[in-house]
């Protein structure tokens, strides 16, 4: 299957670079796709560091396979084919299997890492990065799909590829792709109840006034050591997890608050907070800094990534800031 298109300028230039052995031009032409390929790998793997590694693996494979490129498909399509199959090979080695709910309860967030907004493609219209498809809950939901079904879903419903094109990349029949997509959509609806199903539409990248107000209130509650105010920001059906501890996104608001209390939140030694507002995974986030008795400064402690619905927090995923150096957050405040 091909893109049924004339040989484009990029493809012709790429073929010329391959034929002449021009490694520098080859690198320039593939490098321009790095960010969108890395996001693609992240959706497949849920892990920022693995996505970086697999993007680099994609470029290495592309170099070794360069003679096979004939321009029958777009250069971008060819690179996505290599990246998708590199991810599938990686998932097979990692041991990803079709998840069983009883087994998933302790491991659905096992590999999850946040994605820095600064590393997202700069032009969302060209890179097809919808806000909904980079949110953490969406990334977690995708991990409930077995690897090849996951690839079908991402290619078809996120990137918007037609079934024959996805089938060609995955070396499947169109009927197999269609069947896999139907099963994937059922799982995604189960994992994201109440969400809209058109994931290919682009969302806004700016925080709304409502989101900014809720994050500011979340930080303010920490700075005032006000557990009641913090609790009032949470929806009763909150989905909550703190990483890197194993967990799920099914904890209730009541369980979250009880966990904070048992963990000593706002107790001496954990009561001098400051925070700043940012965005991570195209979601509102609070960066929290804690000053302890042995430090004269507020030091980076945690990042809370939020989803705000109707003025309250519907999802809260917290990350140990020490384990996410690629976010490039200031170490002190």
Prediction pTM value: 0.83
Class of domain 9-191 (CATH, top level)? mainly alpha
Domain with CATH 3.10.450.50 in the chain: 209-327
So what's the pLDDT on residue 126? 45
Domain with CATH 1.10.1740.10 in the chain: 9-191
Class of domain 209-327 (CATH, top level)? alpha beta
Residues in the chain: 333
182-191, 256-265, 302-311 — which is least confidently predicted? 256-265
Tokens, residue 328: 């490039």
Contact by Cβ (8 Å): 265, 304: no
Q: What is the pLDDT of residues 193-216, one digit of tens each?
A: 766 555 554 444 578 899 999 999
Helix (H) or strand (E) holding 64: helix 48-64
Q: How many helices (H) and strands (E) would you count in the chain?
A: 14, 5
Q: What is the pLDDT of residues 238-295, one digit of tens each?
A: 888 888 775 666 677 888 888 888 778 888 878 899 999 999 998 999 999 999 888 8
**Residue 222 CB-density burial (10 A; 0-12 exposed, 13-18 middle, 19+ buried):** buried
Model confidence at 96, pLDDT cuts 50, 70, 90, reads low
């Amino acid at each position: 299957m091909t893109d049924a298109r004339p040989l484009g300028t990029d493809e012709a230039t790429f073929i010329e670079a391959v034929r002449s052995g021009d490694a520098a031009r080859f690198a320039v032409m593939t490098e321009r796709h790095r960010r969108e390929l890395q996001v693609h790998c992240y959706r497949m793997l849920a892990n920022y560091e693995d996505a970086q590694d697999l993007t680099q693996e994609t470029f290495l494979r592309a170099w070794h396979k360069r003679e096979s490129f004939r321009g029958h498909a777009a250069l971008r399509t060819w690179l996505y084919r290599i990246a998708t199959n590199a991810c599938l090979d990686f998932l097979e080695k990692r041991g990803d299997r079709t998840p069983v709910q009883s087994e998933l309860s302790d491991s659905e967030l096992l590999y999850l890492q946040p994605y820095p907004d600064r590393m997202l493609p700069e032009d969302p219209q060209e890179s097809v990065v919808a806000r909904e498809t980079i949110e953490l809950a969406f990334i977690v939901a995708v991990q409930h799909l077995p690897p090849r079904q996951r690839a079908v879903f991402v290619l078809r419903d996120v990137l918007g590829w037609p079934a024959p094109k996805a089938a060609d990349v995955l070396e499947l029949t169109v009927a197999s792709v269609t069947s896999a997509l139907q099963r994937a959509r059922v799982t995604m609806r189960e994992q994201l109840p109440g969400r809209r199903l058109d994931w290919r539409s682009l969302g806004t990248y700016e925080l709304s006034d409502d989101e900014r107000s809720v994050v500011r209130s979340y930080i303010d509650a920490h700075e005032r050591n006000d557990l009641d105010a913090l609790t009032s920001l949470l929806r009763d059906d909150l989905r909550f997890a703190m990483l890197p501890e194993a967990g799920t996104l099914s904890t209730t608001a009541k369980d979250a608050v009880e966990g904070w209390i048992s963990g000593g939140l706002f107790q001496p030694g954990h009561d001098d907070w400051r925070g700043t507002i940012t965005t991570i995974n195209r979601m509102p986030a609070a960066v929290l800094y804690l000053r302890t008795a042995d430090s004269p400064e507020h030091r980076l402690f945690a990042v809370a990534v939020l989803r705000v619905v109707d003025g309250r927090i519907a999802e809260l995923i917290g990350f140990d800031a020490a384990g996410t150096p690629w976010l490039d957050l200031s170490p002190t405040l």
